[in-house]
Amino acid sequence: MRTLLISLALTLGLATAACGSKASPPPGNTPAATPADPAKPAAAPTASNTEALLDPSKATETAPASFKVKFTTTKGDFVVEVTRDWSPTGADRFYNLVKAGFFTDIAFFRNIEGFMVQFGISGDPKVSAAWKTAQIKDDPVKASNTPGMVTFAKTGAPNSRTTQIFINHGNNSNLDSMGFAPFGKVVEGQSVVSALYNGYGEGAPRGRGPDQGRIQAEGNTYLKKDFPEMDFIKSAAIL
């Protein structure tokens, strides 16, 4: 499932109106065309978490009212603070993805200067296949897509959020009326987010970036071969 934040617009027919960038379509998931301790490194997923990673029906815990997640990336670390009340269903999905170890060796595959940076397609095609139909229901938009806010990507269809997420670089409050509900905010390491490699820009055919279908099908083998400068999340852990 090509859960892309914005590039999906072309595939799904989302409006190509700019969202923070006049040349970029709005964040959205693109379905596949056809079928912790903060002082320590993030622990490897446990057997039960690995089971949840391959079976989304087991990733159903309710998140705390507020929690923080530390992302360790190839550019450094940043921390996202989640406020569950902003987007309860989104916060729960994010919490379960982190606990399952989903954000391990995950690419920032779409990064548009002044707009947003997108991630959340697994580097393992088996994991991508497991989550491609694991949509969650929409939440009312309570917070705004301002700089540093963290939001799930979605398609133009209702209840289409899965695993893809974006961090707003600019003031993208025009996404609010499109149903993009932020669930958290970068509270530490914003400079790291700003420094993530953005030279590939949009995916084909709009830019030099990767094709979502190939990420879903080939995973990190494709990304690391054809996009060697792309930054990755090494791990994510709940603090």
Return the pLDDT at 29: 65
Instruction: Give the residue-averaged pLDDT of 162-169.
Output: 98
Query: Is pLDDT larger for residue 43 or for residue 94?
Result: 94
> For residue 180, what are the domain limits?
8-32+63-238
Residue 98: inside a domain, yes or no?
Answer: yes
Q: Mean pLDDT for the chain?
A: 85
Three-state DSSP state, 183? strand
Condensed to tens digits (0 to 9), the pLDDT of residues 169-203 reads 999 999 999 999 999 999 999 999 999 999 998 88
Q: Which two tokens stand for residue 234?
A: 């090494």
Return the pLDDT at 24: 67
CATH at 197: 2.40.100.10
Three-state DSSP state, 2? coil
Residue 43: inside a domain, yes or no?
Answer: no
Residue 160: inside a domain, yes or no?
Answer: yes
Residue 144: inside a domain, yes or no?
Answer: yes
Residue 50: inside a domain, yes or no?
Answer: no
Examine the pLDDT at 224 and tell me if it is beyond 50: yes
Return the pLDDT at 54: 93
Residue 53: inside a domain, yes or no?
Answer: no
Confidence of residue 30 (pLDDT cuts 50, 70, 90): low
Residue 24: inside a domain, yes or no?
Answer: yes
Domain count, the chain: 1
Q: Which two tokens stand for residue 182?
A: 């932020």
Instruction: Give the residue-averaged pLDDT of 6-24.
Output: 36
DSSP string, 101-155: T-SSSEE--EEETTTEEEE---SSHHHHHHHTT--B------S---TTEEEE---
Decide: 4 and 212 in contact? Cβ < 8 Å: yes
Q: What are the C-alpha distances in Å from 17 to residues 3, 59, 94, 174?
A: 19, 34, 27, 10
CA distance 103 to 100: 8
Residue 130: inside a domain, yes or no?
Answer: yes
Return the pLDDT at 205: 74
pTM higher than the cut 0.85: no
Query: Is pLDDT larger for residue 24 or for residue 57?
Result: 57
Condensed to tens digits (0 to 9), the pLDDT of residues 94-153 reads 999 999 999 999 999 999 999 999 999 999 999 999 999 999 999 999 999 999 999 999
Sequence-separated (6 or more) residues with CB below 8 Å from residue 133:
1
